[in-house]
Amino acid sequence: MKVEVDEHACQGHTLCAMVAPDLFTLRDEDGHSEANNGGEVPRGLEQAANSAISSCPERAIRMIED
């Protein structure tokens, strides 16, 4: 499973990193989100990834098929 943050849609609400801290890193300068490891979701963190997707107010995170 892979996730992708649309950098144009992300506004730095920070909820993805709150619910899935292992999957997303917030930029120091503005708190905008970047997916870790090129968006690769480690086994066992699929639920956290889905939580992050459904927590984003801007709907900026999507799953991409491998």
Partner 1 sequence: MDDVNTVTTDGAAKTEELKKCPIDFERHGPGFREGFVDQTHELHAKCPIAWTGSYEDHWVVSGMDQVFAVARRPEVTNFRDADGSVNGYKGISIPAYDYGPYDTPSFLELDPPEQTDFRKVLNPYMSPAAVARWVPIIDELVNACLDDHIESGSIDFIDDLATVVPAITTMGMLGLPLADWDVHSEAQHALMYTPPGSPDHERVMKIVMASRAALTDAVPEVRANPRPGFVDALLNATIAGRELTDQEITGTLMLLVGGGFDTTTALTGQSLLWLSQHPDERARLAEEIDTLLDPATEEFLRYFTPAVGDARTFSDNVEIDGVEFKEGERVWVSWAMANRSPDVFENPDEVDFDRTGNRHAAFGLGIHRCIGSNVARVVFKRMITAVLDRMPDFVIDPNAVVHYESVGQINGLVNLPATFTAGERRGPGLTTTIERAQKIVVDEQLADRVTARRGR
Q: Using CB under 8 A as the criterion, which residues of the chain lie in contact with partner 1 when the complex forms?
A: 11-15, 18-19, 25-31, 51, 54-59
1 or 11: CB nearest partner 1: 11
59: left (phi over 0), alpha (psi -120 to 50) or beta: left
Provide, rounded to whole angstroms, the least separation between the CB of residue 48 and partner 1: 10
Our CB check for partner 1 shows the closer of 47 and 64 to be 47
Least Å distance between CB 42 and partner 1? 18
Q: Quick one: DSSP state of residue 57?
A: T
**Count of C-beta atoms within a 10 Å radius of residue 50:** 17
Residues paired with 40 in a beta bridge: 2
